[in-house]
Amino acid sequence: MCRHVAYLGDPVAFGELVLAPEHSLSRQAWEPRTQSSGVVNADGFGVGWYAEGDPVPARYRRAVPVWADTSFTDLARVVRTGAFLAAVRGATRPGADGEAAAAPFGAGPWLFSHNGAVEGWPDATAPLAAALSPGEWLRLEARTDSAFLWALVLHRLRAGDPPEQALGDTVREAAGAAPASRLNLLLTDGTRIAATTWGNTLYSLTGPDRNGSPRTVVASEPYDDDPLWREVPDRTLLTATRTEVTLTPLKEPSL
């Protein structure tokens, strides 16, 4: 199923949000509060972050539960960043792709995560596969529904679509082909965030951090009890910067 979180703001040690809060992403790996399917996200985890002056993010991904990686605590304590995307994975089906199947997926400046499942993948989405070239299929990071969705989104981004259109059109096409799918997508380039709600929960938090600086967090569920958290309605496209969140309804696909 998965849980994910993205952050834009002043540089912080990403462990302050991923590990430290009472209901952090790490805890959501074994005790999510709002997850609609499954109860454990122990099939891997990952984090991607941006360093000052470098538009291409670094990624750290593992095929083990986040609590089983003792080195990650040190990494999360010392790496400071003004933008990151992190996720814990609950696999849709067993597979042998290892850490390659763990989000965030990435290419160029982009980081991507999928919270949900494509019902009937891959057969149900076969009509969508024609949009991808042989080269794009060869570059698929893993043999999973999430990696396939990322390939579709990336195809649109490289064609010049803005991120919100790339996510929205991909969700509508996937939902049209596989109507029972859960399609919460999360995308960032380190300066903006785009996300969708389609069958799972999503929340946003925008407001001053403890030093009074603007920040935005988008997450599957709140990691603390800050009253600034706002639930995003289902079937919604979210776009965000450090200072602003915009919500746009997603239309149902034409059947």
Q: Where are the beta strands (DSSP E) in the chain?
A: 3-13, 45-49, 58-62, 80-88, 105-107, 110-117, 182-188, 193-197, 203-208, 214-219, 230-231, 236-240, 245-249
Exposure pattern of 215-229 as b/e (b: 16+ CB <10 Å)?
bbbbbbbbbeeeeeb
Tokens of 132: 């991808």
Contact 113, 147 (CB under 8 A): no
> Is residue 2 annotated as part of the catalytic site, yes or no?
yes
**Complete edge-to-edge strand list for the sheet that includes strand 105-107:** 105-107, 110-117, 182-188, 193-197, 236-240, 245-249
Taking alpha carbons only, the member of 149, 170, 186 closest to residue 48 is: 186
Of 1, 2, 85, 128, which is the active-site residue?
2
Closest residue by Cα to residue 94 from 18, 38, 24, 43:
43
Residues annotated catalytic, as ranges: 2
